Structure 1
Amino acid sequence: MRCAAVPPGGGTDQTGSDLLTVTLGPVAHGGHFVARHEGRVIFVRHGLPSETVRIRLTEAAPDAKFWRADVVDVVDPSPARAPHPWKPADALAAATEGRQPVGGAEFGHIDPTAQRRLKADVLVEQLQRLGGLERYTEVEPADSGSSGGMHWRTRVAFAVEPGTGRLGMHPHRSNDIITIRSMPLALAAIEELTLWNVDFTGIERVEVAAPGNGSRPLILLVPQPPTDRGAVDDVVRRLPAEASVALWKPDGGSGDGSGQLTRLRGRTWVSESAGGYQYRVTGDGFWQVHRQAPDILMDAVLAGLDPHPGDRIADLYAGAGLFTVALADAVGGTGSVLSVEAAPGTSRDARRNLHGFGNVNIVQGRVERVLRTKPGGWGTVLLDPPRTGAGKQVIRELLRARPAAVGYVSCDPASFARDVGYFRRAGWQLAHLRAFDLYPHTHHLETFAVITPPDQ
């Protein structure tokens, strides 16, 4: 860790950017810490509460409501500051090299225990401000082992630097590309592919999925438009033989938001595992990123909702069926599960994964539309929406259907707190809440809640 003492006041760094010295206040949602300078609010990354730091302004329009900045030096460090485990994302190291740090490990400079306390503080603040609720919940570690929050990502996305064809990543809120030679938050299986040595000329983006169960990884190539199949084939020949490879056009032209996958080598899907169940997940389909997240969240959902034989459950935003399989098993032949997923490819995965479960009705479509057309009568509803949350329309339909309990899996405390507020204003209660650190060294966290109507 480099904590060089610097004089107070203004100045410029070696890139010529404006520098300020500030003392940081509390953590804010999004991985920022709040500072004030001459009445102006500044959201600062790569700091810690109570630290005095030198910052470089990254967004500072004169008429902006607030500014943004990165820490470039530390005058008075917090006891929670730790050596960053990945140099490209280390703001202090980046500052000495005259560049911005890459995104993806913005809390890497913080002791892991302190990271979880800060995430809990963010959850408290969002619930109070957006949900009108005072509630403290500790953030539970995902890994009780000695990994130090490393080697957990089963999925990683890389940019490709034009001209060199080398893999890189973007700094926060930037289109710049910083080339990298490692990604230690990723599983060892991804690191061992050594994709940094491959020339990806002709490719715009590379995504890698390496299942936590050790099965065959998949590399998705997003080509530069217009697609040059000769250049793509050259890249495929350079890739390690142990990986499947597919061409991915994120907009497949169908208008439904789905992409188009073309098999180049091996298969276009990966084999995942959770709770003793096996899943097939299409390359561009959703699956939890942390290697232990599927098991952790499945256990939390089953414990929180406590499904019994004969229950009727709706699994909304069901994805490839991670929770649907376990819920269908729990309710048995006398019960039923409605599985709803909007993405066509992921819904097809669910049909394959739930083949043989006669008590599951799989519907492909937007959740709010399905809720308007399907009769209610569910004893329990499970929500696992994208980062934007379920939203007012979906919750309005759930209030009308009035299940005995709603389970809510969320990866964003702001949208979760907003939705809790919608329920609470209708008299519902947050009966159960857990939080998990499924994104170590980042500001993200995952929550699972059980929300119940007034008469429960």
Structure 2
Amino acid sequence: MARNPRQRQPRGESVVGHRFTVTVGPVAHGGHCVARVSEAGDRVVFVRHALPGEEVLVEITEGTEGDRFWRGDAVAVHSASPDRVPPPCPYAGPGLCGGCDFQHVALPTQRELKAAVVREQLARLARLEVDVEVEPVPGDTDGLGWRTRMEYAATRDGLRGMRKHRSREVVAIDRCLIAHPDAVELPAPGVRTEQVLDRRYRVSANGFWQVHPGAPSTLVATVLDQLAPRPGERVLDLYAAVGLFAGFLGDRVGDSGRVVAVEGDKTACRHARENLSDLPHAEVAVGSVDRVLASSYDEPFDLVVLDPPREGARRTVVQQVVDRRPRAVAYVACDPAALARDLATFAELGYRLISLRAFDLFPMTHHVECVALVEPA
């Protein structure tokens, strides 16, 4: 039986609805900026719909008198940043759709904010000072029209909508501007075929696949460039999904090499076997990465690709990767905090960050994709 999520205990009277004028500080991980409410003892408030340096009127959306921090929306702008722009979407703003964080920000500045977040997370969690540039990728139009798979909610009247930020409440919409014109609406039946460079991939319509049209080819090219695979090498592709990286790595290492793709989802594994059927030196292992590596494939591997879910690979898997003594690891990360924590673990175990690239695969949102190259120190 599913249990209700644990509710936070209130720490005093609610301050929801209270309004304060604040000067907005730096961007923070999660699509908001940091400000302090002087009237409440310099209480930290995470403010959405604002930009660093602005003076705004913030309305508190979550918090009680005893909380360490509050959350709020900028409902009026007294002093605007030169990087502020009118949101292209009519449903972007306080109390509306929660899907986009940065529609009020000029696109180049969105990328600068994301780069600042990646730098801050690496410095704070991994003690790494890294120069980061978030690169655009082909496949969107001024940051719009890129999302190839969409999942909508429904209002009480049965209208199509999107949820508010951190809420189950639904806002009715007639069109989502970040949706690709041919976006698949989830849940969807059947299997799709995706073309990536010179390889074709079969993937469940409801299975994992990058949602930006330019993402698969960009990530593949980056991983291949970082790892520089050689004929005859042995490769582990972890969290392999339908075998996107394994296919291209298998081509590079050739019949004298070996590729093992490890994935926990059985349907994805079935498609991976189809997608890698032209590579007799490739195999697919079904199961969670930590459990598979705990019992199998304990011989040395030359190269490893890590493409974990948002929470990262975590210490157990990082330790198992290091135990295989790879000459290089390509880490594909959708969360900079998880990446930073795992890079700190790699450093403890004798591997160091060599290079990092970041890509704007989710324009108008706070999300950013990184690809890090890690090698023995």
The answer (yes or no) to whether the contact 2:45–2:69 under 8 Å persists in 1 is yes
Change (3 A) 1:166 1:446: same
How many residue pairs get aligned? The number is 358
Q: Tell whether the 8 Å contact from 1:275 to 1:298 is kept in structure 2 after alignment.
A: no
What is the letter of the counterpart of residue 421 of structure 1?
A: A
Alpha-carbon distance in structure 2 between the residues aligned to 1:312 and 1:300: 19
How much does 1:146 deviate?
A: 7.8
In the alignment, what sits opposite 1:104? 99
Instruction: Name 1:422's counterpart in structure 2.
Output: 345
Structure 1's 146 and 176: CA in aligned 2 closer, same or farther, altered over 3 A?
A: closer
Match of 2:3?
A: none
Query: Structure 1 residue 391: deviation in Å?
Result: 0.4
1:261-410 equivalent positions in 2, closer than 5 A: 268-374=190-296, 375-410=298-333
Sequence identity (%):
44
Instruction: List aligned pairs for 1:50-69, cutoff 5 A.
Output: 50-69=53-72
Q: Please, which runs of 5 or more residues in structure 1 have no aligned partner?
A: 1-15, 92-99, 191-208, 210-218, 222-244, 247-267
> What is the identity, as a one-letter code, of the residue corresponding to 2:280?
G
CA distance in 2, matches of 1:179, 1:376: 54
Letter in 2 for 1:135: V
Cross-structure match for 1:436: 359
- SS of residue matched to 1:281: strand
- Match in the other structure for 1:229: none
Match 1:122 to one of 103, 106, 117 = 117
| Structure 1 CA distance for aligned equivalents of residues 299 and 68 of structure 2 | 45
Q: Is the 8 A contact 1:272 1:281 kept in 2?
A: yes
> What's the counterpart of residue 162 of structure 2?
169
Give the aligned partner of residue 94 of structure 1.
none
Q: Offset at 1:380?
A: 0.5
Match of 2:145 in 1: 151
Aligned counterpart, 2:181: 188
Structure 2 equivalent of residue 18 of structure 1: 18
Query: Is the 2:97–2:163 Cα contact (8 Å) retained in structure 1?
Result: yes
Which structure has the bigger radius of gyration?
A: 1
Residue 11 of structure 2 is matched in structure 1 by none
**1:220, 1:442 → 2: CA distance?**
20
Say whether the 8 Å CA contact 2:207–2:268 is kept in structure 1: yes
Counterpart-to-counterpart distance in 1, 2:166 and 2:339: 23
8 Å contact kept, 2:151–2:186: no
Q: Distance in 2 between matches of 1:75 and 1:346?
A: 51
Name the structure 2 match of 1:179: 172
> Do the aligned residues in 1 keep the contact of 2:26 with 2:34 (CA within 8 Å)?
yes
For 1:103 and 1:277, the matched residues in 2 are separated by 36
Q: CA deviation at 1:283?
A: 2.0
Alignment-derived partner of residue 449 in structure 1: 372
1:431–1:452 contact (8 Å) kept in structure 2: yes
Instruction: Let me know the Cα RMSD of the aligned residues.
Output: 1.3
* Equivalent in 27, 30, 51 of residue 48 of structure 1: 51
Cα offsets for 1:252-276 (capped at 9, x unmatched): xxxxxxxxxxxxxxxx111111122
Residue deviations 1:389-424 (CA, integer Å, cap 9, x gap): 000110111222221111100000000001001111
TM-score, length of structure 2 as denominator length: 0.92
SS in structure 1 at match of 2:179: coil
Q: Which residue, out of 140, 147, 160, partners 2:135?
A: 140
User: Contact (CA 8 Å) 1:102, 1:172: kept in 2 or not?
Assistant: yes
| TM-fit CA distance, 1:341 | 0.3
- Kindly state the Cα deviation for residue 430 of structure 1 after the two structures are TM-superposed: 0.3
Moved >2 Å (runs of 4+): none
Measured in 2, the distance between the counterparts of 1:376 and 1:51 equals: 55
TM-score with structure 1 setting the length: 0.77
Shift of 1:57: 0.6
Gaps of 5+ in 2: 1-15
